């Protein structure tokens, strides 16, 4: 029987030695050689030279990039959602006020304030996660790590 957390996909910096592991069940965002966009999936299975993300089997050597989400990025995205909601409500209130009282500047001002608040909440969604180039020419290397039997 294997201990939990001993198997996964290790990403290691070949220059500094810094490393972290995506354990089985972890969510991973990656790009394959020749692709234009990143794909995401849950790490489901490990083979000798390939891994399974969701329903896709991907060769380790075909992965050329990994995107890593930092804890601060995740936190800001969670906080940004209610901020966007508040901004949307203020925009809606301003639009209703502007429609009801077209001669007043209060509705226009509320729309502008709401748009600013919405934009502040959207900012964490506009920034991409850190990209790590793996494989030939990259500073990072992927390795399949298997647990040892106990």
Q: Are 114 and 91 in contact (CB under 8 A)?
A: yes
Tokens of 147: 């647990």
Over the stretch 74-105, which tens digit does the pLDDT of each residue have? Answer: 677 788 899 999 999 999 999 999 999 988 89
Lowest mean pLDDT among 95-104, 105-114, 124-133: 124-133
Q: What is the pLDDT of residue 130?
A: 67
Q: Tens digits of per-residue pLDDT, 65-75?
A: 888 766 676 67
How far apart CA 12 and CA 17 sit, in angstroms, is 6
Look at residues 131, 16, 141 and name the one whose alpha carbon lies nearest to residue 65: 131
């Amino acid at each position: 029987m294997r201990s939990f957390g001993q198997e996964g996909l290790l990403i290691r910096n070949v220059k500094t030695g810094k490393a972290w592991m995506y354990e089985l069940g972890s969510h991973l965002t990656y790009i394959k050689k020749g692709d234009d966009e990143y794909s995401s999936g849950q790490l489901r299975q490990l083979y000798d030279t390939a891994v399974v993300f969701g329903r896709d089997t991907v060769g380790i050597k075909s992965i050329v990039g990994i995107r890593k989400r930092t804890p601060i990025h995740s936190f800001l995205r969670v906080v940004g959602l209610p901020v966007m909601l508040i901004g949307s409500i203020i925009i809606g209130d301003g639009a209703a006020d502007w429609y009801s009282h077209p001669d007043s500047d209060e509705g226009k001002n509320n729309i502008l304030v709401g748009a600013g608040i919405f934009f502040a909440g959207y900012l964490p969604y506009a920034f991409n996660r850190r990209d790590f180039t793996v494989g030939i020419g990259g500073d990072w290397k992927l390795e399949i790590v298997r647990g040892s039997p106990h």
